[in-house]
Amino acid sequence: MQKSQGSIMPAGPLMKEHRLIERMIAVIKKETEDLTSGKELNTFFIQEAADFIKTYADQCHHGKEEDILFRDLGKKELSKEHSEIMNQLIAEHKYGRKTLKELLEARDRYEKGDKKAKIDALNRLKALVEFYPKHIEKEDKHFFLPCMDYFSSKEKDDMLEEFWEFDKTLIHKKYRQIVERMEERI
């Protein structure tokens, strides 16, 4: 593991994850443009995009933020600005989860024959396309790096280690949940 006093701080992996999220948002944006031009709703695309957002953006990325970074920042005496931004970020994460849930509900209605649900799905996709770039900019430019100053080198190293451990268990958790849901259906 690289140490925070070296080239990597806990903000680094989080910001790197943002780059992949931005790439997915660009793909979703292209899909919204196609839908606006009359293309039929691709429910497989919705499922794949939703899986990425739920698993990678929310459980993996936001999970590290909320369960590790924000938890540890909660033990510090933050400036009023950083405290307000952290609370905004938590609220934004909830908004993202709500929007994703509404997208999947619209997809389900569409699959059951409700053609009007296409508009709802399109609006939820557009909401995600609008939401993520602003959210990422707030974290990258106004929060992550300044907040690293609240931590000692050892605390940053410990946080990085906890990030790696968090990531290692994520795929096992995801697929255990899939099997459990499938078992409940049989």
Per-residue pLDDT at 3 exceeds 60:
no
The Cα–Cα gap between 61 and 24 comes to 14
Amino acid identity at 119: I
pLDDT given at position 2: 38
Cα–Cα dist 176/122, whole Å:
31
CATH 1.20.120.520 at 11-185, yes or no = yes
Within 10 angstroms of residue 111's Cβ, the number of other Cβ atoms is 12
Is pLDDT at 4 greater than 50 in this prediction? no
| Burial of residue 160, with CB atoms counted within 10 A of its CB: 0-12 exposed, 13-18 middle, 19 or more buried | buried
Tell whether the model's pLDDT for residue 92 goes beyond 60.
Answer: yes
Average pLDDT (23-28) is 96
Work out the pLDDT band at 6, boundaries 50, 70, 90.
low
Provide the CA 161 distance to its chain's centre, in angstroms: 20
Give the residue extent of every domain in the chain: 11-185
- Give the pLDDT score at 7: 56
For residue 185, the model assigns a pLDDT of: 86
**Per-residue pLDDT for 52 more than 50?**
yes
| % pLDDT > 70, the chain | 96
The CB density around residue 184, as the number of other CB atoms within 10 Å, is: 7
Instruction: Indicate the average pLDDT of the chain.
Output: 93
Taking only the tens place, the pLDDT of each residue in 135-178 is 999 999 999 999 999 999 999 999 999 999 999 988 888 888 88
The region of weakest confidence among 22-36, 75-89, 125-139, 171-185 is 171-185
Contact between 102 and 120 under an 8 Å Cβ cutoff? The reply is yes
Which 8-state DSSP code applies to residue 177?
Answer: H
Arithmetic mean of pLDDT, 46-68 = 95
Q: Give the SS3 label for residue 24.
A: helix
Predicted pLDDT of residue 5: 46
CB 49 within 8 A of CB 150: no
Contact between residue 103 and residue 58 where contact means Cβ atoms under 8 Å apart: no
Using CB atoms within 10 A of its CB, is residue 8 exposed (0-12), middle (13-18) or buried (19+)?
middle
Rounded Cα distance between 48 and 39, Å, is: 17
